[in-house]
Amino acid sequence: MKPKAPPIPVHPKLGWTNARLGPTSMGFNHIRKGHRMPRIPIEGGKGTVGLRGDGVVHLIWTPNARIDVADARAAMAMVNEVCDGVGHPMLVDMASTETVSREARAV
């Protein structure tokens, strides 16, 4: 008789689930190599955050976005949620943003 498979994890705050995910000692957000986490919108709608299959956190700001301190804090809060306490390299795509306030650069 086969042992019963563990339930598919659901992130407690973000609410997504993915059949390719498996429970690990690192939490909900650590994906087997080659798979990626769904992109999650940042509060305020000016960008998205995702964890790529190679373990890189990818923050993408929307084109022509004006990023202020509230946007930067929302982005970093979402990055912290995605990372779930585990360090990851991070790639930020902001080539097409319009402006970034001085306060936002300090976050």
DSSP 82: H
Question: Average pLDDT for residues 72-86, to the nearest whole number?
Answer: 92
Predicted TM-score of the model (pTM): 0.66
User: Which two structure tokens, joined as six digits, stand for 16?
Assistant: 């997504």
The listed CATH number (2.60.120, 3.30.1490, 3.40.1680, 3.30.70) that belongs to domain 40-105: 3.40.1680
Q: Domain residues of the chain, as ranges?
A: 40-105
- Closest among 29, 22, 100 to 61, alpha carbons compared: 100
pLDDT at 72 exceeding the cut of 90: yes
Q: Would you state the pLDDT for residue 93?
A: 94
pLDDT at 27 exceeding the cut of 90: no
What does the alpha-carbon distance between residue 4 and residue 39 come to, in Å, rounded to a whole number? 30
Determine phi and psi for 70, rounding to 5 degrees. Answer: -65, -40
| 34 vs 104, more confident | 104
